[in-house]
Amino acid sequence: MIGLRTEVLKASIFAVLTAILLGASTYMLSPYIETRGPRQVGTLDAYTERGVGSFYFYNENISIFAHLKDTSNNPVADAQVTFVIHGPPNSNITLSETTKTNSSGVAVTNLPVLDIVNRPETILGIWDAVATAEVADTQIEDSLAFEVVTSPNPFIDVYTNRGGNGSNTSSEPYSRNETVNLYARVSNGTNPLGNSLVTFAAYWPTNKLILLTTKESNASGIATESFRIPPVNESIGPWRVIVSVRISDQVFIDALTFECKP
């Protein structure tokens, strides 16, 4: 009887130890699975100088920017950015351009709507643009939308080769000793106005006049002028450009500003 109890006790202890060992083995052998999200390599922000969801008049130039930053929020320079721009539905317009970011991590493409087609009914409506860049073998993108509408009145719009389209709008910055290329687009609301006399005036940060000249607009309604920023300390700060044109005995004015950095 005692022997039977001993065997039963041994069997019970063996069963308990086996269960413990099996449980430990199962725990030790269970694979460790780590769940990770998409690898973060940086950010790309697409925008226009008027912001996302803005509108432009027919005949205006539209500048689209893409700001590329790494995971530490530092600008990524000399990186390729591809812009793909689609016109309104049923327009069958698709444009593509690849350019590089500057030292501030910004790439820009200019969309001269008037130069695409001289049919307002085709280009009026909602446009969308997608900017794509590749960082550390990973593709990132951002998109935006804007609207092209008809202008109700004659107008003049001054901008630079770095943006500034729109009434009283800022351009991207320049540095000392760089050349600023100015463009003034003149329109009667739906069509460009050639042979219009446009007056350009540019002012230092100290409000001193550096440029005062008159140029004639071409067949596309565009008058051009340029000047070089002097390599002196007085050049650092906000610059101001004002253009004016007389249309049907009325004077129309537009202005832009840009920052000169050291």
Question: CATH number, domain at 128?
Answer: 2.60.40.1940
pLDDT of residue 137: 85
Same domain, 142 and 162: no
Angle, vertex CA 213, rays to CA 208 and CA 217, nearest 5: 140
Say which residue, 60 or 23, is predicted with more confidence.
60
Radius of gyration for the alpha carbons in the chain, expressed in angstroms and rounded: 32
**Given 106, 128, 150, which residue is the final one in a domain?**
150
- Label residue 25 by pLDDT band (50, 70, 90): very low
- Reported as a single tens digit per residue, the pLDDT across 151-202 is 667 889 999 999 888 778 899 999 999 999 999 999 887 688 999 999 999 9
Enumerate long-range contacts of 178-181, CB under 8 Å, 24 or more apart: 178/228, 178/229, 179/226, 179/227, 179/228, 179/229, 180/226, 180/227, 180/228, 180/229, 180/239, 180/258, 181/224, 181/226
- Label residue 136 by pLDDT band (50, 70, 90): confident
Q: 213: Cβ–Cβ under 8 A, 6 or more apart, which residues?
A: 199, 200, 225
Same domain, 260 and 162: yes
Cα 67 to Cα 44: distance, rounded to the nearest angstrom: 6
Residue 147: which of 128, 164, 130, 165 has the closest Cα? Answer: 128
Same domain, 157 and 238: yes
Question: How many alpha carbons fall within 13 Å on the CB side of residue 174?
Answer: 27
Q: Which domain holds residue 133?
A: 39-150
Order of strands, sheet of 155-160, starting from the edge strand that comes earlier in the sequence: 155-160, 179-187, 222-228
- Label residue 222 by pLDDT band (50, 70, 90): very high
**Helical H segments across 40-179, by residue range:** 113-116, 120-123
pLDDT of residue 111: 78
Hey, CA dihedral for 180, 215, 201, 108, is it positive or negative?
negative
Structure tokens at 236: 């650092």
Same domain, 134 and 157: no
Which has the minimum average pLDDT: 33-42, 58-67, 91-100, 181-190? Answer: 33-42
- Reported as a single tens digit per residue, the pLDDT across 89-106 is 888 888 899 999 999 999
Longest Cα–Cα distance of the chain, Å, equals: 126
**Given 150, 169, 196, which residue is the final one in a domain?**
150
Q: Reply yes or no on whether the pLDDT at 223 is more than 90.
A: yes
**Helical H segments across the chain, by residue range:** 2-29, 113-116, 120-123
Look at residue 9 and tell me if it is in a domain: no
Q: Output phi, psi for 257, to 5 deg.
A: -130, 155
Q: The pTM is what?
A: 0.52
Give me the amino acid identity at 143. Answer: S
CATH number assigned to the domain comprising residue 251: 2.60.40.1930
Look at residue 10 and tell me if it is in a domain: no
Angle, vertex CA 187, rays to CA 148 and CA 154, nearest 5: 90
Same domain, 46 and 145: yes
Residue 188: which of 126, 125, 250, 242 has the closest Cα? Answer: 250
- Reported as a single tens digit per residue, the pLDDT across 224-233 is 999 999 999 9
Same domain, 135 and 61: yes
Cα 262 to Cα 253: distance, rounded to the nearest angstrom: 30
Q: Reply yes or no on whether the pLDDT at 16 is more than 60.
A: no
Average pLDDT value over all residues in the chain? 82
The DSSP line for 60-100 is -EEEEEEEEE-TTS-B--S-EEEEEEE-STTS--EEEEEEE
Cα 21 to Cα 19: distance, rounded to the nearest angstrom: 6
